[in-house]
Amino acid sequence: MGAFAFFAGVLLSLMGLGRWRETGSPYWLVGSLVLFLLVLVGALTGKKKTG
């Protein structure tokens, strides 16, 4: 995962959390947390291949 994809994913998660605070809908909260976890897992497991 590149740096741009990482920051884009984090930004989308934060925007979703802001939407959750506006609406109070649990779907925004769950969706934002799932997206953040996917970005986090992708950042931790996505290693560059050398060679």
pLDDT at residue 32, as a whole number: 92
pLDDT at residue number 6: 85
Distance CA 11, CA 2 (A): 14
Nearest Cα neighbor of 35 from 3, 5, 24 is 5
- Taking only the tens place, the pLDDT of each residue in 10-50 is 899 999 999 999 999 999 999 999 999 998 888 888 876 66
Give me the pLDDT at residue 22, please: 93
- The residue ranking higher by pLDDT, 3 or 30, is 30
**pLDDT the model gives residue 15:** 92
Please state the pTM of the whole predicted model. 0.77
